Amino acid sequence: MRRILFLSVLLGLLTACDNTPKPPSERATAATAMPADPALAQVYDTSCKLCHANPASGAPLSGDRAAWRPRVAQGADTLLDHSINGYNGMPPMGLCMQCSEEQFLGLISFMAGVELPQ
């Protein structure tokens, strides 16, 4: 229950100040894109999407390949490490406490729009 409350407060905060200029098309893609795998889509919808589909969060947006390119260049191990342990505004586990390493890699591949070596 407390977790739901926390998430709704967080969502409220994130949507309250959405004033970063971004092309409308990119915004629409990030807002509606979903992983093809239903289980992954479910996880994405309740965790990563809160920030990675919200330009105001400062997170690289889902499908924004240009924003992801330098991050992907760090390698899958670093991306996985930053997903699990957190990185600046990126919270540890990306708010998905039950996610496996495989799921994180799947989610990152989806958001970055590239296949990560598993």
Binding site for ligand HEC (CB under 6 A): 47-48, 50-52, 57-60, 71, 74, 78-79, 82-83, 87-91, 94-96, 99, 104, 107-108
Cα distance between residue 13 and residue 83, in whole Å: 22
- Closer CB to ligand HEC, 33 or 50, in the complex: 50
- Closer CB to ligand HEC, 29 or 76, in the complex: 76
Cα distance between residue 38 and residue 24, in whole Å: 27
Tell me how far, at minimum, the Cβ of 25 lies from ligand HEC, in Å: 22
- Closer CB to ligand HEC, 29 or 93, in the complex: 93
Contact 93, 34 (CB under 8 A): no
What residues have CB less than 8 Å from 67, skipping those under 6 apart? 60, 61
In the complex, which residue's CB is closest to ligand HEC?
94
What residues have CB less than 8 Å from 112, skipping those under 6 apart? 60, 65, 68, 71, 72
- Closer CB to ligand HEC, 32 or 101, in the complex: 101
Tell me how far, at minimum, the Cβ of 68 lies from ligand HEC, in Å: 8
